[in-house]
Structure 1
Amino acid sequence: MKHFLAKRAVSSAISLLLLIVAVFFLSRLTGDPTDLYLPIDASQEARDNFRALHGLNDPLITQFGRYVLDLLRLDFGDSIRRAQPALGVVVQAFGWTLQLAAITMLIVTVGAIVLGSLAAFRVGGVFDRIATFCSLIGAAAPDFWIAIVAIVVFSLGFGLVPTSGTGTALHWVLPVAVLSIRPFGLILQVVRGSMINALGSAYVKTARAKGVAPRAMIFVHALRNAMLPVITVIGDQAAGMLNGAVVVETIFGFPGVGKLMIDSILQRDFTVVLAAIMVTAFAIFLMNILIDLAYAALDPRIRY
């Protein structure tokens, strides 16, 4: 296991380095921050001082080398717009995204596993058809369209929930609901397919012949062996949310890392963009490690 974790750490570090190189140079194509933060009639001296203050006078390769050296000292630089450490700005926004992702995935995972298992128990029945139909629509529906319709209907139409913000529990209802629809549909379909295979296996047929209760047969005997592909999909969806639910966070004005990245790109706040990429990539790396450990816990046949 230690050898496996070491290999994963090395491969993740290489991927992260390549990502930093790409983001560092591509972000500079958005333009000079001086044109955005200083008045149009600012003097050349003021422009030179601004560039020198933020290390923008040097050639790009020099800027990149200095940035890498600072990273080795765990110095992510300061935000140009906020005049604060970039890492602190990102961690604060990432906390909001982490809360949103955790609440959403908890609801989605429990609901999809229960409903998908029940749908698989009687394939072709009324409940199975309804669950399959709804999950397919949810998996195919675009987030931005659902978010806009939800605001028009539930916020502007009925006035049940706020349109944006995070002040109260009601502010979380629409972002969580909209963000849940797609992963719920995908996970439910995977649970249903995996459970159909598990319920048709010999050990489940033996349990049924012994008179085991349907609830125990589904959630005790079959579910554990059906969980490996389900965990993969759950991990992919969770990683996608940690990567920033950009559309949902932007539409609902949710102060997460996805919205922060979009705002920072528009504001040419390069250090915040890079810090957000690094924090998110590290979180996804940890998520993948946890998924691999879950595989080993569920199936003792797996050896790394």
Structure 2
Amino acid sequence: MVRLLRRRITSSALPLLVVILGVFFLARLTGDPANLYLPLSATDEMREAFAARHGFDQPVLVQFGDYLVQLAHLDFGESLRTTQPAAEAVLQAFPATLQLAGVTMVLAVAGAVVVGSLAAYRPNSPADRIAGFLSSTAASMPDFWFAIMGVLVFAVTLGWLPTSGSLGPAAWVLPVATLLIRPFGVLVQVVRAAMVSALSAPYVKVARSKGAGEARVVFAHALRNAAAPALTVAGDLSIGLVNGAVVVETIFGWPGIGKLMIDSILQRDFALLQAAVLLTAVTIFLLNILIDIGYALLDARVRQGATA
């Protein structure tokens, strides 16, 4: 297990460095922050003073070196717009994204396990065909289109749900439904395929011959062995939820890391953008580690390969 973790951490170091490089240099292609934070009548002296105060008067490579030194001291700089420490602003917004992604993933996994298992129990039955049609439709549904249609129908036309915000249970319905639909569709297909294979395995026939009930056979014996591929896909989808939250949070005004990124790009708030992207990248890195650990715990072959 230790060797597996060491190899995973080493392989993730380069992508993390690429993220740091990319966000730093690409952010500066958005333009000069002075054009947003200074009046149109600002003199050259005012622009030079603004650049010197925030370190923009130095060559880009020098700025990047200073940024790396700050990172080594866990200093992410200050927001240009609010003068608040960037790390503090990001940490305030990130829990909202984690809550949204967490609730969505729990509902998606729970629903997919039930629907996928029932569909696999009777292959090619009407229930299986309905589940296959609905899951395929959900898996191919564009998030942004579903979100816009949800706002149009349930918020604007019917007035049942709020168009934005995060206060109250009703405000959670559309964001969660938008993030839920694709992972649910994908996981139903994965669980169904894995369960069809598991239910035809010899150990299932032995369990039935010993008098085990069908519910125990499906949800205890077969599901445990079918969980490994579902866990891998669920982990990948969880990572996608963190990234996909950018669109959902922007549409619904959800006060999370996605909306913070979009706002910082529009406001050319470099320090805030860098901190938000870096924290997201580290979170994805940690999620990958947890997925590998879970997969190793479920599959002894992975543990044996890691120690070989």
Give yes or no for TM over 0.5: yes
Which amino acid is 1:24 matched to?
F
- Using the alignment, how far apart are the partners of 1:13 and 1:302 within structure 2? 22
- Using the alignment, how far apart are the partners of 2:258 and 2:24 within structure 1? 18
Corresponding residue for residue 228 of structure 1: 228
Corresponding residue for residue 219 of structure 2: 219
- Using the alignment, how far apart are the partners of 1:152 and 1:256 within structure 2? 23
Corresponding residue for residue 293 of structure 2: 293
Deviation at 1:74, TM superposition (A): 0.5
- Using the alignment, how far apart are the partners of 1:8 and 1:69 within structure 2? 25
Corresponding residue for residue 144 of structure 2: 144
What are the Cα deviations for residues 95-122 of structure 1, in whole angstroms up to 9, with x where unaligned?
A: 1100000110011111101110111000
Corresponding residue for residue 130 of structure 1: 130
Q: Residue 301 of structure 1: SS of its match in structure 2?
A: helix
Whether 1:67 and 2:56 are equivalent positions in the alignment is no
Q: Is the 8 Å Cα contact of residues 244 and 257 (structure 1) preserved in structure 2?
A: no
- Using the alignment, how far apart are the partners of 2:5 and 2:89 within structure 1? 30
What are the Cα deviations for residues 159-193 of structure 1, in whole angstroms up to 9, with x where unaligned?
A: 11101001211111110011100100001100000
Corresponding residue for residue 158 of structure 1: 158
Q: Which runs of 4+ in 1 moved over 4 A?
A: none
TM-score by length of 2: 0.96
- Using the alignment, how far apart are the partners of 2:88 and 2:78 within structure 1? 9
Whether 1:275 and 2:275 are equivalent positions in the alignment is yes
Which structure is richer in relative contact order (CA contacts within 8 A, separation 6 or more)?
2
Corresponding residue for residue 258 of structure 1: 258
- Using the alignment, how far apart are the partners of 2:4 and 2:198 within structure 1? 29
- Using the alignment, how far apart are the partners of 1:244 and 1:264 within structure 2? 17
- Using the alignment, how far apart are the partners of 1:144 and 1:277 within structure 2? 21
Number of positions where the alignment pairs a residue of Structure 1 with one of Structure 2: 304
What are the Cα deviations for residues 240-289 of structure 1, in whole angstroms up to 9, with x where unaligned?
A: 12235111111111111111111111111111111111111111111111
Q: Residue 87 of structure 2: SS of its match in structure 1?
A: helix
- Using the alignment, how far apart are the partners of 1:112 and 1:270 within structure 2? 40
Which amino acid is 1:234 matched to?
A
Which amino acid is 2:177 matched to?
A
Corresponding residue for residue 168 of structure 1: 168
RMSD: 1.1
Corresponding residue for residue 77 of structure 2: 77
Gap regions ≥5 residues in structure 2: none
After TM superposition, the structure 1 = structure 2 runs for residues 176-195 of structure 1, keeping only pairs within 5 Å, are 176-195=176-195
- Using the alignment, how far apart are the partners of 1:124 and 1:4 within structure 2? 40
TM-score by length of 1: 0.97
- Using the alignment, how far apart are the partners of 1:204 and 1:196 within structure 2? 11
Corresponding residue for residue 91 of structure 1: 91
Q: Residue 302 of structure 2: SS of its match in structure 1?
A: coil
Which amino acid is 2:98 matched to?
L
